Amino acid sequence: MRADGGLRGWLSAPTTALGKLAWVLVIAVAAALSLAVMFLLLSAGLNLFDSLQMQARAGR
């Protein structure tokens, strides 16, 4: 916690071990969620591409 205290001070520069650990965990959770969403979108896109390709083949 910075000497000036408050949420803003804490967010700008974590100086205690607990503050740093909290930052690392929050970033890790955010990165994990972002990766999960990215993989889900990628998977949905690939599935859509496959089904469109199958429809095109069936229509031929």
Partner 1 sequence: MLTSIQQQIGLAVFAAVLIAAFAVGRRDERLGAAIVTVSALATMVHPYWEPWLDLRLGGLAIDGLTLAALAWLVAVSKLRWPLFATAFVLLLVLLHLVALASPPALRITYLDASVALSYGALAALAVGTWAAWRSRRLA
Residue 58 C-beta: closest distance to partner 1, Å: 28
Should residue 16 be labelled a site residue for partner 1 when binding is judged by CB under 8 A? no
> What's the CA gap between 32 and 48, in Å, rounded?
24
> What's the CA gap between 31 and 45, in Å, rounded?
21
Should residue 13 be labelled a site residue for partner 1 when binding is judged by CB under 8 A? yes
Should residue 39 be labelled a site residue for partner 1 when binding is judged by CB under 8 A? yes
Are 23 and 14 contacting, i.e. CB atoms less than 8 angstroms apart? yes
Should residue 1 be labelled a site residue for partner 1 when binding is judged by CB under 8 A? no
Nearer to partner 1, 15 or 51 (CB): 15
One-letter amino acid for residue 39 of the chain: F
